[in-house]
Amino acid sequence: MSDEGVSAWKDQSVQDLIETVQRFIRTEVVAHRETWERQRYVDRSVWRKAGELGLLCCSIPEEYGGGGGTIAHEFAICEVQGTALDTSWGNMVHSGIVAHYILAYGTEEQKRAWLPVMATGEVIAAIAMTEPGAGSDLQAVRTKASVEGDDLVIDGSKTFISNGHNAELVLVVAKTDANAGARGISLILLDTRDAPGFSRGRILDKIGQHGADTSELSFEGVRVPRASILGGEPGAGFRQLMTQLAQERLLVATTAVGAMETALRETLEHVRQRRVFGQSLYNFQNTRFVLAETATTARIARTFLDSCIERHLAGNLDASTAAMAKWWLTEQHVRVVDGCLQLHGGYGYMREYPIGRMHQDARVQKIYGGANEIMKELVARSL
């Protein structure tokens, strides 16, 4: 299978990291996949091991305990996870999302309190936006954080929270002023180790991504110091979310491209060895056309992703283009995997075949990180 060579954003340090991550995913993640899929969460030990290898928060400055790299290093880790079909280890949320909220908006004290322990894996992080009554419409969140003296008292519930079962740090989206609309939303750093009234509900039973913990969280009179508001600025949460979400969308898009390339490789291997009607499945024109279409889609996807990542690294990726990348690449991801599964016949429907697993795991890509319809709204608004 020919390709266009190494993406320009993968400099030597990114390429070195990719090799380490590939090894790590093979030996420390994929090796435990069945256990984690049964229990529906990853063991905490994987976070510690990742921390020891410098794989956590590798895009956070060294002065805060991180690896001193750039966000390209996080994209690279996501891509390796996508390629290796790992959807269980929630590092994207931890290092690619929560750590960057803290770095971008946290007070010096918040950065020093949280980033070093996130980099070692002592603390696992989650972000809790979604509620039973508020997903796409973030302004509709009902979780509130009421001011009582020097404290905030949090009441409400969240659902679908990645890393929710394991997290010591939850970045909670809550209303500090119920009458101020988007300007009443704040992001609150909650230390779950010291939070009477905080509880974890079910680990949800998903149709795919079984090793990833996706949990319900509940807050009943949870008291935190007012200084726990991210950046110490009440009412800044919605603006902070809107600014950071573009990066989150690109991280999701990166896993989609890695997975598409793996789907193509897996399918090529299968059709070359599978014989039907006395010949290789590869020889049928339909097979060749599907493969040609898949290879073309994967190439365009890679080219678009690379251009988005390069623009993001240069600081000039607009929110609309990030939304385009999220909806289009995840749409292609699901479509490509479905076409590739078809060429596997019944074997494709078996989870022991990578393509079967990919099919189940891919579907949510069009929903989380902002539903694709919301992405199209963002694009349309910018035209």
Ligand X SMILES: Cc1cc2nc3c(=O)[nH]c(=O)nc-3n(C[C@H](O)[C@H](O)[C@H](O)COP(=O)(O)OP(=O)(O)OC[C@H]3O[C@@H](n4cnc5c(N)ncnc54)[C@H](O)[C@@H]3O)c2cc1C
By the rule CB under 6 A, 41 interacts with ligand X: no
By the rule CB under 6 A, 190 interacts with ligand X: no
Question: Could you tell me the smallest distance in angstroms from the CB atom of residue 135 to ligand X?
Answer: 2
Q: How many CB atoms lie within 10 A of CB 205?
A: 8
The answer to whether residues 293 and 303 touch, using CB atoms and an 8 Å cutoff, is: no
By the rule CB under 6 A, 127 interacts with ligand X: yes
Question: Could you tell me the smallest distance in angstroms from the CB atom of residue 14 to ligand X?
Answer: 25
The closest of 243, 377, 218 to 312, measured between CA atoms, is 243
β-sheet bridge partners, residue 162: 214
Which of 72, 93, 145, 309 is in the footprint of ligand X by CB under 6 A?
Answer: 93
Identify which range of 71-79, 122-130, 292-300, 312-320 contacts ligand X by CB under 6 A: 122-130
Q: Is residue 40 exposed (0-12), middle (13-18) or buried (19+ Cβ within 10 Å)?
A: buried
Considering beta carbons, is residue 7 or 254 the nearer one to ligand X?
Answer: 254
Which of 3, 148, 194, 373 is in the footprint of ligand X by CB under 6 A?
Answer: 373
Residue with tokens 């320009």: 8
By the rule CB under 6 A, 347 interacts with ligand X: no
Residues identified as active-site: 248
Helices and strands of the chain, counted as H and E runs: 12, 9
Question: Could you tell me the smallest distance in angstroms from the CB atom of residue 268 to ligand X?
Answer: 29
In the structure encoding, which two tokens stand for residue 49, read together?
């091991």
By the rule CB under 6 A, 128 interacts with ligand X: yes
By the rule CB under 6 A, 327 interacts with ligand X: no
By the rule CB under 6 A, 135 interacts with ligand X: yes
Count, residues near ligand X per rule CB under 6 A:
22
Considering beta carbons, is residue 37 or 306 the nearer one to ligand X?
Answer: 37
C-alpha span between 6 and 346 (Å, rounded): 35
By the rule CB under 6 A, 141 interacts with ligand X: no
Question: What residue spans of the chain are helical by DSSP H?
Answer: 12-24, 33-39, 45-52, 71-83, 91, 99-105, 108-120, 237-273, 285-313, 319-343, 354-362, 372-381
Please count the residues of the chain: 383
By the rule CB under 6 A, 371 interacts with ligand X: yes
Identify which range of 59-67, 160-168, 250-258, 347-355 contacts ligand X by CB under 6 A: 160-168
The closest of 145, 136, 101, 162 to 235, measured between CA atoms, is 145
By the rule CB under 6 A, 284 interacts with ligand X: no
C-alpha span between 40 and 74 (Å, rounded): 24
Considering beta carbons, is residue 100 or 302 the nearer one to ligand X?
Answer: 100
What residues numbered 198-217 form the site for ligand X, per CB under 6 A?
206, 209, 214
The residues binding ligand X (CB under 6 A) are 93, 126-130, 135-136, 160-162, 206, 209, 214, 364, 367-368, 370-371, 373-374, 377
